[in-house]
């Protein structure tokens, strides 16, 4: 689908302007984490043009910003909630902050192509689904239903971790990150999909063996989030954290959507993700709805695992010498609150590039590591 109105060059120039103004250098020393910019790329990663990775998609918001996301069903994309709301002049957030109402679905578009700005086709959004809770921390997750299904020959969806917990030993303890963000906090090179593998998972709040305690608590102590080492920057917001082992096998599990993180003048630091396993009902209900609208059978991850598979530690394969996370019976229970669906008008969204302001990508804006984690946080736009 071609993007109507707003010439690409104009959109790109406005995007660069927005991201340049909100550079990390302006935030060094502030006690807050950057919410994120809409223009960024994986720090220290490499350009990714592998068609087998087309489940890692680019998301743009007509109201401002470039984000990333993950195709988890033929017509369903997982991303960050701050990617689907109007951009804010203030990137910094606290856990007391609330999300604004979503933009119209017609303001969003998605591409599977490796360069968001040069993409030849886009998929329009028809619905946006978000948690009923509006507090920022733990609820920075959204699902976008597309107007049509992405052909299997174009992209094979990733598998959201909703049938078991992030501490399950099927997961390797490290991730692959892919996104359309900038390569470092001072760069202006967003729009190209990039990849970096073998990023360590640092902590999971509430986990017996990997709890975000002590110094780790400065990143997040919300049970619906987890933390990895950095390397994702502004513009990567909404991108998936893909379990390394399953990624290498070509059937990647996606553990969460990138929410925010701190960064210094020249380096993106830790990355904070919203957990898929703590938003099971939201994601499964969206998967069922997307299947009904796309007229295909619901994918296997929408069905609970058999009791023996879910409870028997031996049902999961051994980690074969890799560092594994262990199943933890004390992990927080999955929230039972109902989901909220926002249905909006369908249509093409804005062209890739600057949609005015940063609307949700990688949410890690620059803060000095010593003082950044205390009070406020920034989204990785």
Taking only the tens place, the pLDDT of each residue in 304-330 is: 987 755 544 434 444 444 434 333 333
Taking only the tens place, the pLDDT of each residue in 76-87 is: 999 999 999 998
Residue 35 pLDDT level (bands cut at 50, 70, 90): very low
Q: What pLDDT, on a 0 to 100 scale, did the predictor assign at position 317?
A: 43
Residue with more model confidence, 204 or 90: 204
**Residue 263: how many CA atoms within 13 Å on its side-chain side?**
39
Backbone angles phi, psi at 352, to 5 degrees: -60, 145
User: What is the reported pTM?
Assistant: 0.74
pLDDT at position 75 over 90: yes
- Is the backbone of residue 373 left (phi > 0), alpha (psi -120 to 50) or beta? alpha
Sorted by where each starts, the structural domains of the chain and their CATH numbers stand as 15-298+324-378 (2.40.10.10)
Query: Residue 127 to residues 58, 146, 295, 300: CA-CA distances in angstroms?
Result: 17, 7, 16, 22
Taking only the tens place, the pLDDT of each residue in 269-286 is: 889 999 999 999 999 999
pLDDT at position 91 over 60: yes
């Amino acid at each position: 689908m071609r993007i109507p109105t707003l010439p690409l060059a104009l959109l790109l120039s406005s995007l660069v302007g927005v991201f340049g103004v909100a550079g990390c250098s302006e935030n060094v020393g502030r006690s807050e984490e950057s919410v994120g910019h809409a223009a960024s790329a994986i720090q220290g990663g490499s350009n990714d043009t592998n068609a087998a990775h087309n489940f890692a998609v680019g998301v743009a918001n007509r109201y401002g910003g470039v984000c990333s996301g993950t195709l988890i069903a033929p017509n369903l994309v997982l991303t960050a909630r701050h990617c689907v709301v109007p951009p804010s002049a203030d990137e910094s957030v606290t856990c007391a902050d609330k999300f604004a109402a979503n933009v119209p679905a017609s303001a969003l578009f998605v591409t599977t192509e490796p360069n968001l700005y040069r993409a030849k086709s886009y998929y329009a959004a028809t619905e946006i689904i978000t948690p009923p809770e509006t507090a920022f921390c733990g609820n920075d997750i959204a699902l976008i239903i597309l107007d049509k299904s992405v052909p299997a020959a174009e992209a094979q969806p990733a598998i959201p971790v909703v049938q078991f917990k992030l501490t399950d030993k099927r997961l390797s303890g490290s991730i692959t990150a892919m996104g359309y963000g900038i390569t470092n906090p001072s760069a202006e090179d967003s729009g190209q999909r990039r990849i970096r593998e073998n990023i360590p998972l640092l902590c999971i709040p509430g986990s017996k063996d990997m709890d975000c305690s002590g110094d780790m608590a400065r990143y997040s102590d919300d049970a619906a989030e987890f933390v990895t080492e950095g390397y994702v920057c502004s513009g990567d917001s909404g991108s998936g954290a893909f379990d390394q082992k399953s990624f290498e096998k070509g059937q990647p599990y996606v553990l969460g959507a990138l929410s925010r993180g701190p960064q210094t003048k020249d380096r993106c630091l830790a990355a904070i993700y919203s957990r898929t396993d703590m938003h099971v009902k939201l994601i499964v209900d969206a998967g069922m709805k997307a299947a009904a609208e796309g007229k295909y059978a619901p994918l296997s991850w929408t069905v609970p695992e058999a009791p023996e598979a879910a409870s028997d530690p031996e049902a999961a394969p051994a980690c074969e010498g890799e560092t594994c996370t262990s199943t933890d019976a004390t992990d927080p229970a999955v929230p039972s609150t109902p989901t909220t669906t926002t249905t909006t008008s369908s249509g093409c969204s804005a062209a890739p590039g600057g949609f005015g302001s940063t609307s949700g990508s990688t949410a890690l804006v620059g803060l000095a590591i010593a003082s950044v984690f205390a009070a406020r946080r920034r989204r990785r736009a």
